[in-house]
Structure 1
Amino acid sequence: MEFNHTNPQSDRAGISSSETAMLEALIPGYALFSRFLLSYLQIDLTVYLQQLVVLVVFGAAIKYTVGYISDFVKEYLVSTAEIRLDDETFNYFMYWISRQPHMRRTNRFVAGVKSNGYCSESEDSDDDDNPDKDAGEWDEPGSTEGVSFDEYWAKVISRDKYKPLRFTPSQGRHIFWYKNRPLMLERRHQTSSHRYVLNNERLYLSCLGRDASILRTVLNEAQQAYVQRDGNRTIIYRGHRYYSGGSWNWTRCMARSPRPLSTVVLDPEQKQDFIDDIKEYLHPRTRRWYSNRGIPYRRGYLLHGPPGTGKTSLCFAAAGLFGLKLYLLNLNSRALDEDSLASLFSELPNRCIVLLEDVDTAGITQTRGKTIADVKPKDDEGEEGDIEEIPEEAVDAVVVDEVASTAKPDGITLSGLLNVIDGVAASEGRILVMTSNHPEKLDAALLRPGRVDLSIAFGYTSQEAIEELFTSIYMAMDGDSPRTSAAQRLSNEHAKLKIAGVSIPNGHKRTKSQELLEKAKSEEKAHQSYLKELRLRINILAKEFASIVPPDEFTAAEIQGYLLNHKSTPEAAIKGAGTWVHALREKKKAREEKNV
């Protein structure tokens, strides 16, 4: 029997073997697939080849046309705002959109206990710093009467077990309406080989039309909502990097209620000089004065003294008084190099306070030792001699001691710090505050005018400061006894009756209002009388306490720590003050003997 080795597809359709080979090259697996269809399904693929080619061409044309139209629409008919993860606007928008009504109806979202689920600051961290967040149900007069600590604490612990869930849009595209206009949000993840990458996600907010004002309105509203949440609290940032080898950035860590300047124990004249100097620096005429004379617009302060004397507290109180953001930076980190330090300072806003704590412990302020000529001079016989120590004025540059250079192999140097705070490319407008427990260890180059313009010495508490501290601890404050206005109590009472389904006649409403107002007036009168008597009594007790505690011997932190052990019993604090003074003296004496 004679076999025909000619391809049946080629015989039927008149396609030569060379054409079949060409199709095989263009469409890998074509010969096998066509043979399979012909053998098992009796379908000759070559009969429909022209139709298939037309279909493929048509599909490619449709794909190209749709892509071209899509690109044309995006380029000329759509406005888009790009929001990057490493920018604070990302937090603004995610905070805002997580509270929009449409987020409750979407079926694609990211659930988390933080506002956005990233390494940046979360809303919950700020709420944890709010001491009044748990006091809402206890604000009513008489609400705490008969309530034991165990009962109150059981409710607090039970509530703290459940953190509020935050819902944000998931990856992909989301369409929502804003002011009767459709907007599209695209959340896109950027892949990377790094495990932790700061800029690995971006948001694209789009609207129809060439006018992008609606997008700016959305972002401005998001920023306002985010900022209004903070109120008058002081925002604190710290220099941080998310992973080893990554870049350093300012990360918001908390928002705290401003500290009254009166709570800082310091000589009133020094305190007022510090505040007046900041006011003069922040005045617009001062900036113009600096600019007209070509002087860099910067201001530096050094707060020095023993630990616990209130240096950081004064800086924090000043930030709250002027409504400035506070930026904290730890110079002890060996991972912080000069380039990272320069990058952090370049990102500072025009008006802020930068706090460098304990600069004397950073290992960079004592790098100017003896001036050593790093040469080996030859003696008369032509042999190399010992290293020669020469006067500092005889050389152009100061060479670092071997000990100092090896003490801090990584991190920043003194020259690097000086260039950042007072170099040609140093940022302007910021207020730099450095604290130190041992100012005598600081290099003179760091303390010269232009880098440190005002130095404030913090010492041990004087007799007046002891009295002031005692008074601030025991004097009644507005937040110590929660009080509710008569109008608020009336509103709360009516709300409770309304929930219970009880109708309130107008006559009864007026009678109830009159009763509450009269009761409020009586309570206010009694409260003012109580405050007057308490103020007189506390002033007498403060003088008695100051007569027992010796002045210029203890820090404000030490005295405050003792008084907090008797925060509700000033008489007990006075009674045990003598014993406490003796014990603390013995403790300090033993510590000094141990150090010697």
Structure 2
Amino acid sequence: MARPFHVGVTASHRFLDPSMHGLDFLRELIGHWVSGLDITRLGSLAACVGAAPAAWRFLRTAWHETYGWVRQFFISSVTIPGHDPLNRHVTNWVVTNVIQFRSIRSFTARTQVQAGAATDRAALLKKTRRDIQYLPHFESTWFWHEGNLFLIRRPLDGFKASMANSAYDGVGGEELTIGCLGRSTEPIKRLIQTCQEYADKQAQYFVLIYSRYRMSWQPKSRKPIRRLETVHFDDKLKQELLADIRKYLDPNTKRLYNLRSMPYRRGYLFYGPPGTGKSSLSTALAGEFGLDLYEVKIPSVATDQDLEQMFQEVPPQCIVLLEDIDAIWTKRESTNHERHGEAITNCTLSGLLNVLDGVGSPEGRIVIMTTNKLSRLDSALVRPGRVDMKILLGNISRKSAEQMFLRMFAPDVDYLALPSSKKDTVKIGESQHVQMDHERLLRLASEFSTQIPEDTFTPSQLQGFFQLHLDNPTEAALSISAWVERQLSGLSSDDEIEIVGNGHAR
């Protein structure tokens, strides 16, 4: 009789057999695996795992001790405080020239907030998707520069604190420590000089505007340089203003001031109706002369002490813009005007005069004050020495309206600066396939300006009109007459809307 044929079934075969997938099989498999372990080896493995944290603490402590010893004897360093302009220059250079070429795996993501959006309630209510801003993390980074090894440390605690400010753009908000292998700080100074030169090249096309936030000056926005041709007022007065500022910024002028023991300061007053370009002119001047703009809104300053602190922290060569200077009143006047809902401030006239030319007031800066109500300013505030030149920015003239028309319909090139031989080649209104030569554009500009009454409309009102006809100069020239009639008759609210919509052009 033949003996039955048996096939040996191992644990691996039974694992593949669906009929064996049960608890009994799992217990058998685990028991078989445990029975094969050496208890001595298992104990050794557990001991190693238990000792790992202690070994890691020891290695970490040894590393910090070794690094501290090396840093003390072999590394020189320079520390730059947070929110200092130099801090921003160095961080920008490192992010651009070092960080972006490495594999960064840690970012902070947040919604991109446009300038002014925080105060624009209508913008916050819009159901539109906003851009996302990714800010790279780096607590420390090593790099070589000009044959020297550098280490830059940036504590992330300061980075997280800066993120609470909606105006913070991820650059220059935390303390930086620059270390260099060696006992001399000269390589670090050369690196900082390189960062400053890089910042100067980047800033030649932009104006950096600073505002006060949590008791310190911080960058509010970076705007493209605005040409002075875009601010329309008397050409002769404009040239006189440029010549005066240019002379003041001349190093020889500063030397003469010092030799004659004169305070090296310069003050200007821009006055006129709202919407005539007072703030725009200040921004254009900052771009023209390569200066930063420090913005002070007088109604938002709480006390004289706050105003003094703000001026003490302003760098020597910049433009300080004091907006709505007429908000400073005496106590008696404040009581009267509060009832009318007008903006006032707790700052006093004496406090303002003290920061402008008091004994301890800083020198070297340009102060520009703006007001819509010249008659309300105290004579002590506008005397020579505090206000060296008064600039009236009034309603637009026909000549300025013609210049604005030419500028509006040649947006992609510096049309007014082109030679006559090349102006004929410029295409106007290409989006509507309308090609216009230079002569026809001049005729339209002339026809347009004849419809504008002298000294009646502000530049911001006229700019609001152009926004409706940016693609078609012919349509703009044909529509201006009806627009002027509506404005003069007072039957339309366009005037009010345009002033609000262009409130930046004060």
Counterpart pick for 1:560 among 463, 474, 478: 463
Name the CA distance, whole Å, in 2 between partners of 1:409 and 1:438: 13
1:89 aligned to 2:24? Answer: no
Matched-pair contact (CA < 8 Å) for 1:83–1:203: yes
Considering only aligned residues, what root-mean-square deviation do their CA atoms show, in Å? 4.1
Pairwise CA distance, 1:175? 4.2
Q: Whose radius of gyration is greater, 1 or 2?
A: 1
Partner of 1:251: 218
1:344/1:535 Cα in 2 relative to 1: closer, same or farther (>3 Å)? same
Consecutive unaligned residues in structure 1, runs of 5 or more: 1-62, 129-157, 242-246, 370-399, 481-523
Paired AA for residue 528 in structure 1: T
Q: Tell me the secondary structure at the aligned position of residue 355 of structure 1.
A: strand
Name the CA distance, whole Å, in 2 between partners of 1:237 and 1:200: 14
Pairwise CA distance, 1:266? 0.8
Query: CA deviation digits over 1:418-440, x for unaligned, max 9?
Result: 10011111111111111111100
Counterpart pick for 2:319 among 348, 353, 371: 353
Name the CA distance, whole Å, in 2 between partners of 1:461 and 1:408: 27
Pairs within 5 Å for 1:402-417: 411-417=346-352
Partner of 2:425: 528
Name the CA distance, whole Å, in 2 between partners of 1:525 and 1:64: 72
1:463 aligned to 2:436? Answer: no
Stretch moving more, 296-305 or 182-191: 182-191
Paired AA for residue 232 in structure 1: Y
Query: CA deviation digits over 1:275-308, x for unaligned, max 9?
Result: 1111221222322222222221111111111111
Stretch moving more, 580-589 or 413-422: 580-589
Matched-pair contact (CA < 8 Å) for 1:353–1:433: yes
Query: CA deviation digits over 1:428-470, x for unaligned, max 9?
Result: 1111111111100111111111111111112222222222222
Partner of 1:429: 364
Name the CA distance, whole Å, in 1 between partners of 2:422 and 2:278: 40
Paired AA for residue 472 in structure 1: R
Partner of 1:12: none
1:319/1:175 Cα in 2 relative to 1: closer, same or farther (>3 Å)? closer
Partner of 2:307: 341
Matched-pair contact (CA < 8 Å) for 1:98–1:168: no
Matched-pair contact (CA < 8 Å) for 1:300–1:451: yes
Pairwise CA distance, 1:169? 1.4
Name the CA distance, whole Å, in 1 between partners of 2:483 and 2:283: 29
Name the CA distance, whole Å, in 1 between partners of 2:179 and 2:404: 57
1:307/1:430 Cα in 2 relative to 1: closer, same or farther (>3 Å)? same
Name the CA distance, whole Å, in 2 between partners of 1:582 and 1:102: 59
Pairwise CA distance, 1:201? 4.9
Pairwise CA distance, 1:338? 2.2
Partner of 1:137: none
Q: Tell me the secondary structure at the aligned position of residue 324 of structure 1.
A: coil
Pairs within 5 Å for 1:388-403: none
Paired AA for residue 84 in structure 1: P
Consecutive unaligned residues in structure 2, runs of 5 or more: 1-59, 118-127, 416-420, 429-434, 496-506
Matched-pair contact (CA < 8 Å) for 1:125–1:254: no
Partner of 1:500: none
Name the CA distance, whole Å, in 2 between partners of 1:305 and 1:208: 58
Q: Tell me the secondary structure at the aligned position of residue 300 of structure 2.
A: coil
Name the CA distance, whole Å, in 1 between partners of 2:78 and 2:483: 63
Counterpart pick for 2:330 among 367, 370, 383: 367
Query: CA deviation digits over 1:456-513, x for unaligned, max 9?
Result: 1122222222222222222464279xxxxxxxxxxxxxxxxxxxxxxxxxxxxxxxxx
Partner of 1:546: 449
Matched-pair contact (CA < 8 Å) for 1:319–1:326: yes
1:228 aligned to 2:212? Answer: no
Partner of 1:577: 480
Paired AA for residue 87 in structure 2: F
Q: Tell me the secondary structure at the aligned position of residue 444 of structure 1.
A: coil
Among the aligned pairs, what percent are the same residue? 31
Paired AA for residue 536 in structure 1: E
Partner of 1:483: none
1:469/1:64 Cα in 2 relative to 1: closer, same or farther (>3 Å)? closer
Q: Tell me the secondary structure at the aligned position of residue 528 of structure 1.
A: coil
Pairs within 5 Å for 1:442-521: 442-475=377-410, 477-478=412-413
Q: TM-score, normalised by structure 2?
A: 0.68
